[in-house]
Amino acid sequence: MNWLVTGGAGYIGSHVVQAFREVGLGAVVLDDLSSGHAEFVPDDVPLIRGSILDTDLVAGTLAEHHVTGVVHLAGFKYAGVSVDRPLHTYEQNVTGTSHLLAAMATAGVDAIVFSSSAAVYGTPDTDLVTEQTATAPESPYGESKLIGEWLLRDQGRATGLRHTSLRYFNVVGSGSPTLYDSSPHNLFPLVLDALAAGRTPRINGDDYPTPDGTCVRDYVHVADLAVSHVAAAQALAGGRALEPVYNLGSGDGVSVRQIMTAMADATGIEFTPDVAPRRPGDPARIVASGALAARDLDWKMRHTLADMVASAWRAHTR
Ligand SMILES: NC(=O)c1ccc[n+]([C@@H]2O[C@H](COP(=O)([O-])OP(=O)(O)OC[C@H]3O[C@@H](n4cnc5c(N)ncnc54)[C@H](O)[C@@H]3O)[C@@H](O)[C@H]2O)c1
């Protein structure tokens, strides 16, 4: 029984492949390597280099590798950049998902786990986001993820496709020193890059209405996240009904300043972060309850914040 992991050469996808292997589930990766790394894919896992937009390639891969389900992580993930590149974002995330679903229908593959995002909520007016919180995306990226969820829902109604969408919050850390987040826009790689290069990390805005004035986010360890993909895949494979969406959030808020302190502790580098003005569009706080995922998807915080920072630093410096 094989699962196709689209985007399996990326940061989160490579951890999902690792988690599948740990429970003995077969994985095949399809990735165009636009932001992924071929070396993130283990030698004994087939890596098909190509795009989810190539319906024939995807349908052929599903048939050739006897795939029974798909974990769909491939996509363009930079919310800020998506504002300037809406068409690219929609093409990768909406057209790409639609083509993938078409290929699955052609090949008779009827189970999918989709990478969605906290970005579907925009700036929620609540201390703790739940799956009932209204969606109000504020970028083409967030919109494209919400449309991806709708595509799964509508295809499910039309064809019986079994599906669930996992809304990730801030995914950080490394489950292995060889796998890391190479995003040029996320807080962790930005701070680690600065420290490794002897520069002072920067906080964007310290005048938010939060306890220490810096933005509060919900950080989750990538290896914990990966385990829930296995649980979701196994549930769908076993015919167990899942919710259409789950928040993969910890319920705990951590401020950017607290992250800076944890970074100094983990790296042994003492620094006082520079403070720059706020970035437009950054909500003061976004923290989610992961209660539903804890009930259905073996979701729990197996790692502390110190683990998240230390593992990210180890992978970064390797
Ligand atoms: N990192 C986060 O904090 C976060 C939060 C919420 C949601 N997500 C979502 O999770 C998914 C994975 O994110 P990540 O952090 O691992 O990013 P990533 O950029 O490391 O991984 C994305 C992977 O998809 C591949 N890819 C992109 N477009 C493709 C296409 N058209 N065809 C085939 N492969 C393609 C890339 O080469 C890369 O390997 C993304 O869909 C992202 O939107 C990530």
Nearest CA to ligand 1 atom 43: 77
Give the Cα separation of 98 and 53 in Å (integer): 8
Residues 211-254 pLDDT 10s:
999 999 999 999 999 999 999 999 999 999 899 999 999 999 99
Q: For 32, list phi and psi in degrees, rounded to 5.
A: -90, 0
Stated as kind and residue range, the H or E segment containing 105 is: helix 96-107
Q: What is the Å distance from ligand 1's center to 212 Cα?
A: 32
Query: Which residues, 6+ apart, have CB-to-CB distance to 60 below 8 Å?
Result: none
Residues 73-115 pLDDT 10s:
999 999 989 999 999 999 999 999 999 999 999 999 999 999 9
DSSP letters, 137-149, are --SHHHHHHHHHH
Nearest CA to ligand 1 atom 31: 51
0.95 exceeded by pTM: yes
Per-residue confidence (pLDDT) for residue 279, from 0 to 100: 84
Per-residue confidence (pLDDT) for residue 290, from 0 to 100: 98
Per-residue confidence (pLDDT) for residue 247, from 0 to 100: 98
Per-residue confidence (pLDDT) for residue 1, from 0 to 100: 79
Please compute the mean of the pLDDT values over residues 57-85 and round it to a whole number: 96
Whether 37 shows a pLDDT value over 90: the answer reads yes
Give the Cα separation of 148 and 96 in Å (integer): 9
Whether 318 shows a pLDDT value over 90: the answer reads no
Residues 258-310 pLDDT 10s:
999 999 999 999 999 999 999 877 889 999 999 999 999 999 999 999 999 99
Instruction: Decide: 249 and 131 in contact? Cβ < 8 Å.
Output: no
Could you tell which of 70, 77, 101, 174 is best to mutate to test the pocket of ligand 1, judged by most ligand atoms within 8 Å of the CB?
Answer: 77
Nearest CA to ligand 1 atom 32: 51
Give the Cα separation of 251 and 287 in Å (integer): 6
Eight-state DSSP code of residue 101: H
Q: Would you give the distance in Å from CA 3 to the centre of its chain?
A: 18
State the residue for tokens 């449309």: 147
Give the Cα separation of 18 and 191 in Å (integer): 26
Per-residue confidence (pLDDT) for residue 5, from 0 to 100: 98
- CB under 6 Å to ligand 1: residues? 6-7, 9-13, 30-36, 51-53, 73-75, 77, 92, 96, 115, 117, 168, 170-171
Which of 111, 100, 14 has its CA nearest to residue 70? 111
In DSSP terms, 72 is beta-bridged to: 6, 114
Give the Cα separation of 27 and 21 in Å (integer): 7
Q: What is the Å distance from ligand 1's center to 75 Cα?
A: 5
Per-residue confidence (pLDDT) for residue 302, from 0 to 100: 97
Q: Measured from the CA of 118, which atom of ligand 1 is nearest?
A: 6
pLDDT above 90 covers a percentage of the chain that reads: 95
Per-residue confidence (pLDDT) for residue 80, from 0 to 100: 87
Residues 120-159 pLDDT 10s:
999 999 999 999 999 999 999 999 999 999 999 999 999 9
Please compute the mean of the pLDDT values over residues 15-37 and round it to a whole number: 97
Distances in whole angstroms, Cα of residue 303 to Cα of each of 11, 224, 258, 260, 306: 17, 7, 16, 18, 8
Please compute the mean of the pLDDT values over residues 30-39 and round it to a whole number: 98
Q: Measured from the CA of 168, which atom of ligand 1 is nearest?
A: 6
Q: What is the Å distance from ligand 1's center to 303 Cα?
A: 22
Looking from the CA of 146 toward its CB, the CA atoms found within 13 Å total 16
Q: Which residues are catalytic?
A: 141
Compute the mean pLDDT over every residue in the chain, rounded to the nearest whole number: 96
E-strand ranges in 169-305 read: 170-172, 202-204, 216-217, 219-221, 245-248, 254-255, 274-276
Q: For 111, list phi and psi in degrees, rounded to 5.
A: -140, 135
Q: For 109, list phi and psi in degrees, rounded to 5.
A: -95, 125
Query: Which residues, 6+ apart, have CB-to-CB distance to 9 below 8 Å?
Result: 29, 31, 33, 36, 37, 38, 40, 41, 47
Q: What is the Å distance from ligand 1's center to 13 Cα?
A: 7
Whether 7 shows a pLDDT value over 90: the answer reads yes
Q: Measured from the CA of 9, which atom of ligand 1 is nearest?
A: 39
Could you tell which of 6, 11, 40, 116 is best to mutate to test the pocket of ligand 1, judged by most ligand atoms within 8 Å of the CB?
Answer: 11
Could you tell which of 29, 31, 99, 221 is best to mutate to test the pocket of ligand 1, judged by most ligand atoms within 8 Å of the CB?
Answer: 31
